[in-house]
Amino acid sequence: MKRIDLRSDTVTLPTPQMRAAMATAEVGDDVFGEDPTVNRLEEMAAALMHKDAALFVASGTMANLVAFLTHCGRGDEVIVGDKAHSFINEVGGMAALGGIHPRAIPNQPDGTLALADIQNAIRGDNVHWPRTRLIALENTHNACYGAPLTPAYHRAVSEIARARGIRVHTDGARIFNAAVALGVSAAELAQHTDTISFCLSKGLSAPVGSLLCGPREFIAEARRNRKMVGGGMRQAGVIAAAGMVALETMIERLADDHANARHLAQGLAEIPGIALDVARVQTNIVFFDLTNHLTAQQLAERTARDGVLIGVAGTQRIRVVTHYGIERADVDTALAVIRRAVVSG
């Protein structure tokens, strides 16, 4: 029985081309700046985002942490969404390791922060208050149905930030999903953010790694902070080689994941006992709620017995994510398994 894993796009396996590239990668010591494959990957990432430079790090969480440490000093404040990955799911790193104060404001259903809320959250010059140094966005927004944020929205936030002397960082873990869904380039989405991070190990299917992109001086300082948090890697070209293949071959195919997610959402919405807003599914992430007596954990246990793994996102809420390795036939199989588990309930 084939296991159909819909818990996350982090479970993707590297492609045969990635494995071959890893096996033959030219390597050196990256801390010394001497790994040619890492250097090429960083140049490629910077070019894709139209930024001066990029830094290869181990994970999206590390990319965001290094960005916060570089943008902010101890006691400074970051305006962030209350559903942001960096606020909820990164172990409080900005506060614990950087002494940086997160000021959480509500994420709207489309993943944005209301412009008025941002304006009102920016601190004035008062000895009692931390200084607002940074606005942090997330695109696509994981907890908001994988919603893509538009170039126009990024521009509007940037204008607010510029007027107040504040920087903007975008957690672009799935920025290529946003670009494909909106029919724009990733560079258009990155144009109005000072720094942006993105993951290679989600929809792009590389086994490990993320990139942080921004101004050259910023990235030079970020490299020091990467070293400080233990992120200095040596012959990292072995994994960077897979990242290069990911950027060369795996972006356009994200449209397949989006189509599979919509097909999955439409099928789920037809199952009695499931509540789902199909219109909110724009990329590869689907949330649905159980309206019968089943809990999300119970449903996950039932479907797992039939080889379908789903993510528990709350007492009654499930998250499922499409990705490389999940085909339309797998979606149909998953729908049949979920239907049987819910209806037999």
pLDDT digits (tens, 9 = 90+) for 119-141: 999 999 999 999 999 999 999 99
Q: Which residue has the tokens 């720094």?
A: 195
Give pTM, 2 decimals.
Answer: 0.96
Q: How much is the pLDDT for 127?
A: 96
Question: CA–CA separation, 268 vs 276, rounded Å?
Answer: 7
DSSP state of 198: E
- What confidence category does residue 269 fall into, taking pLDDT thresholds of 50, 70 and 90? very high
Per residue in 184-223, pLDDT tens? Answer: 999 999 999 999 999 999 999 999 999 999 999 999 999 9
Nearest residue to 213 via CA among 152, 153, 171, 253: 171
Interval 243-270 mean pLDDT: 98
Interval 230-247 mean pLDDT: 97
Q: How much is the pLDDT for 226?
A: 98
Q: How much is the pLDDT for 233?
A: 94
Question: CA–CA separation, 205 vs 9, rounded Å?
Answer: 8
Domain 14-249 has CATH 3.40.630.40: no
Q: What percent of the chain has pLDDT over 90?
A: 98
Q: How much is the pLDDT for 190?
A: 98
Nearest residue to 182 via CA among 149, 144, 137, 156: 149
Q: Give the Cα-Cα-Cα angle 244, 246, 247 (nearest 5 degrees).
A: 70
- CA dist list (Å): 55 to 13, 329, 344: 23, 38, 50
Amino acid letter, 196: I
Q: What is the mean pLDDT of the chain?
A: 97
Burial (CB count <10 Å: 0-12, 13-18, 19+), residue 69: buried
CATH superfamily of this structure's domain 253-343 = Aspartate Aminotransferase, domain 1 (3.90.1150.10)
Interval 7-15 mean pLDDT: 97
Interval 280-298 mean pLDDT: 96
Interval 74-95 mean pLDDT: 98
**Number of residues that this document lists for the chain:** 345
CA atoms within a 13 Å half-sphere pointing along the CA-CB vector of 224: 7
- What confidence category does residue 344 fall into, taking pLDDT thresholds of 50, 70 and 90? confident
- What confidence category does residue 345 fall into, taking pLDDT thresholds of 50, 70 and 90? low
> Is residue 245 classed as helix, strand or coil in its secondary structure?
helix
Lowest-confidence pick of 60-64, 86-90, 292-296, 301-305: 292-296
Q: How much is the pLDDT for 2?
A: 87
- What confidence category does residue 178 fall into, taking pLDDT thresholds of 50, 70 and 90? very high
Sorted by where each begins, the domain ranges of the chain are 14-249, 253-343
Is residue 143 within 8 Å of residue 85, measured between CB atoms? yes
Q: Is the pLDDT of residue 156 over 80?
A: yes
Q: Is the pLDDT of residue 1 over 80?
A: no
Question: CA–CA separation, 190 vs 18, rounded Å?
Answer: 26
Interval 268-273 mean pLDDT: 97
Q: Is the pLDDT of residue 102 over 70?
A: yes
